[in-house]
């Protein structure tokens, strides 16, 4: 069996009055992420990890932000399309590990729902998706609550 690893990173600016989507779940908060799609930074990092592992470029290549088709699109749809691309190359996901970096709000109450939302799309058991969250210790743009970042790594297995 051939295995491949991939890494993804994404960052989005935070603005008042925007809905805040993380890991496919809407989080109640004063701020939300700004972007062409629904700006779900965790799903975007995840998509880039998966695309990278499969040698399929990145989310910007597959779903250009100049294309009006992707305006405000639910990032779960982008993740589903990434999975279709992987299936076409005979890959399945082994496991995924991700870290969110943001100051507020506390993410732990939402981690279960994020995993319940994303694992069916990824086609993996609940325990094969790990999502962690940390603050940036009040330093830099994340510390000033101007932005949110996410990192993800994944393992792909050839079917
Ligand atoms: Mg993004």
Protein residues with C-beta less than 5 angstroms from the ion ligand 1: 10, 44
The whole-number pLDDT of residue 72 equals 87
The whole-number pLDDT of residue 5 equals 98
21 C-alpha vs ligand 1 centroid, how far in Å?
Answer: 11
The whole-number pLDDT of residue 1 equals 85
Query: What pTM did the predictor assign?
Result: 0.96
65-111 pLDDT, tens digit each: 888 888 889 999 999 999 999 999 999 999 999 999 999 999 999 99
158 C-alpha vs ligand 1 centroid, how far in Å?
Answer: 27
Domains of the chain with bracketed CATH = 3-158 (3.30.1330.50)
35 C-alpha vs ligand 1 centroid, how far in Å?
Answer: 7
Q: Which two tokens stand for residue 12?
A: 């989005």
The whole-number pLDDT of residue 129 equals 98
Question: What is the Cα–Cα distance from 27 to 19, expressed in whole angstroms?
Answer: 8
The whole-number pLDDT of residue 44 equals 98
13 C-alpha vs ligand 1 centroid, how far in Å?
Answer: 10
Phi, psi for 70 (deg, rounded to 5): -100, 5
65 C-alpha vs ligand 1 centroid, how far in Å?
Answer: 9
2-28 burial by CB neighbour count: b if 16+ within 10 A, else e? eeeebebebbbebeeebebbbbbbebe
CA separation, residue 17 to residues 59, 67, 74 (Å): 26, 24, 18
The whole-number pLDDT of residue 94 equals 98
The whole-number pLDDT of residue 65 equals 85
Cα-based angle 93, 110, 12 (whole degrees, multiple of 5) = 75
| Residue stretches of the chain with pLDDT short of 70 | none
Residue 81's CB: how many other CB atoms inside 10 A?
A: 15
88 C-alpha vs ligand 1 centroid, how far in Å?
Answer: 24
Question: What is the Cα–Cα distance from 34 to 7, expressed in whole angstroms?
Answer: 23
């Amino acid at each position: 069996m051939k295995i491949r690893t991939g890494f993804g990173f994404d960052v989005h600016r935070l603005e008042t009055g925007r809905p805040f989507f993380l890991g496919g779940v809407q989080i109640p908060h004063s701020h939300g992420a700004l972007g062409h799609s629904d700006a779900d930074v965790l799903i975007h990092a995840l998509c880039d990890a998966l695309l990278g592992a499969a040698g399929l470029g990145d989310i910007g290549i597959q779903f250009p932000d100049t294309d009006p088709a992707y305006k405000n699109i639910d990032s779960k749809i982008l993740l589903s399309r990434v999975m279709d691309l992987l299936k076409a190359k005979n890959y399945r996901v082994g496991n995924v590990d991700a870290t969110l970096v943001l100051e507020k709000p506390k993410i732990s109450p939402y981690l279960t729902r994020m995993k319940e939302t994303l694992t069916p799309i990824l086609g993996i058991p609940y325990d094969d998706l790990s999502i962690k969250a940390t603050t940036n210790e009040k330093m830099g743009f994340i510390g000033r609550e101007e932005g949110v970042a996410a990192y993800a790594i994944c393992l792909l297995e050839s079917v």
